[in-house]
Chains A and B, each alone.
Chain A
């Protein structure tokens, strides 16, 4: 909030600075999307608008297969990560050592992607070896191939990567929730689950849905960990990165980058808009409730 003595130019300057930073960050992405619609690709002197590159991408079986794998990975990550993050956020609220708890939950964020990926790779290799040895020792084939690189290992890597983000997003929404409402529901006869599902969940739904969207996008954007842990299949990002490294940026590459950018911006933009609208709605509620309670 600004006081009446603030210089209006200071405010304009702050906004100008903010917009410049955002534009600087987004302009390469916007340029990529712009190029993806040029029939002549990057560096051409003329610009003819076309959807052809997108048609080629969506007609390529390898790329469509990679999209499918990415989607499976995203859906599985959402299905497992969101309940885990929800539980973590609930445990956090009960925890007495909150700083230590948050530090523990966020620690995967502080490990660089390649270090995390290669560490998990070594870990799974050893684990697979240990399982094979266990199977051989026990004389059963049941343990064979459990942690060979593949969908399971890629998914575990994805969960470790996305859990901190989902945890934070849910926690922010949950911080507005007052535990007394759960107690009130229990006092009305609700079980712990009914109190959660009927009273708490509707109030943190926005955070949970935002986390779902966030984890989905992160699954589409992730390349390094998945690249190291995926085994025999390819995700969309892996194909894109491989293309760029091997043959450079083609019109197809720009279209793939465009698909990912547009989907990400639309999903994140929607979340932001919904969150802002919700926040405004909640603050209006809070203002109404904060008014002096007069005799009625």
Chain B
């Protein structure tokens, strides 16, 4: 385990089994103090299980949880320096807003005046000043979520766990609340661990993102790294709008490998990747980096190109997608801003060349 004081959360080989089902497989990672950390992944992947293990709501089958260096693996939630915001609001319906927010402070026997001051301050922090006497059912979904946030933050816990906190909100409110959460986290400066299956939400709020799927920690990194340079094929499939192409390594030189696609050979940047000739690999290129190009553009090595057949144009408002098919039958998408000048001569069935800047594709060996 780490003894560094700036580590808020460290999990070591943490696992959870439900009968024969492995919900979490020996996951290890650490989170620095004051970081906004997102656990992102598909539903049923184990991210909520991981969060609940950190919060002490379930006991691990294997491994340990350290909070600020202290092993809390077998402590109940009320003995841990964590607080939690739930997806389904979980406000106490028989208590008004002020009593909900004050609940934890009363348990700690904080003097009444201090409780009132803290509750007022926290409600103003979440933009709900004057709502003290309202009952939970008199609030909108977003307001209820803010009350939950206030109830958790008022406890001055070092670590706040958020389990899909925005999942029940409409799209506009979700976007607003994302920014609000980020603002509040920066203001209070504590560690936030936010579970979500929504990549846009994770990219908006998180300093670092961990991709969790099938009970495994697939990959973690900064939001930009995860989006722009995914190391694992799964991450590339899950985050962003990536085109994935399979091939065989034909050769490697320096930080690049040549991938044989049968119908073309392309060079792919592979910093740090170990791929030998004959290895089956894949690479990804985000749809916004693909373009229909002139074949001559790829002659100098700065661009890679493959032949394709044009299928159709799909207008999506802000962007327009151009759908094409590679010779092996795989469909790929090139996405451009709708207000960019477009080549209107493209027709369904027309042969085209699709290209991308060489250093923008990412090689995946797993």
Contact = CB atoms under 8 A, between A and B. Distances in A.
Contacts of B93: 181, 203, 285
A294 B107 contact: no
A187 B152 CA distance: 8
Given A187-B84, A285-B93, A293-B173, 17 more contacts: A183-B57, A183-B77, A183-B86, A184-B86, A184-B92, A186-B57, A187-B55, A187-B152, A189-B104, A189-B155, A194-B107, A202-B94, A294-B140, A294-B173, A295-B172, A295-B176, A296-B140
Interface in B82-97: 82-84, 86, 88, 90-94
A166 B57 CA distance: 30
A199 interface: yes
Contact of B173 (A185, A285, A295): A295
Given A181-B90, A289-B137, A293-B168, A186 B176 contact: no
A180 B170 contact: no
Given A188-B107, A189-B78, A285-B137, A293 B169 contact: yes
A191 interface: yes
A44 interface: no
A294 B93 CA distance: 20
Contact of B92 (A185, A295, A296): A185
Contacts of A180: 86, 88, 90
Interface in B151-174: 151-152, 155, 161, 168-170, 172-173
Interface of B: 55, 57, 76-78, 82-84, 86, 88, 90-94, 103-104, 107-108, 137-138, 140-143, 148, 151-152, 155, 161, 168-170, 172-173, 176
Interface of A: 178, 180-181, 183-192, 194, 198-199, 202-203, 285, 288-289, 292-296
3 closest Cβ pairs, A-B complex? A293-B141, A188-B104, A187-B84
Contacts of A194: 107
Contact residues of A: prevailing secondary structure? helix
B170 A185 contact: no
B107 A189 contact: yes
Contact of A293 (B57, B82, B142): B142
Nearest to A181: B90
Nearest to A286: B137
Nearest to A287: B137
A289 B138 CA distance: 8
Contacts, number: 85
A185 B55 CA distance: 13
A191 B173 contact: no
Contacts of A186: 57, 76-78
Nearest to A177: B93
A97 B198 CA distance: 34
B140 A178 contact: no
B170 A184 contact: no
A190 B176 CA distance: 31
A190 B57 CA distance: 13
A187 B173 contact: no
Nearest to B101: A188
29 contacts: A181-B90, A183-B77, A183-B84, A183-B90, A184-B84, A184-B151, A186-B57, A186-B76, A187-B55, A187-B84, A187-B152, A188-B83, A188-B103, A188-B151, A189-B107, A189-B155, A190-B107, A191-B78, A194-B107, A199-B92, A203-B94, A288-B138, A289-B137, A293-B142, A293-B168, A293-B169, A295-B173, A296-B140, A296-B173
Contacts of B176: 295
A292 B170 contact: yes
A145 to B, nearest CB: 45
Contacts of B104: 188-190
A199 B107 CA distance: 12
A220 to B, nearest CB: 32
A186 B138 CA distance: 24
A243 B240 CA distance: 85
A296 B83 contact: no
> Which one of B107, B169, B172 has the greatest number of beta carbons of chain A within 10 Å?
B107
Given A184-B84, A188-B151, A190-B107, A295 B170 contact: yes
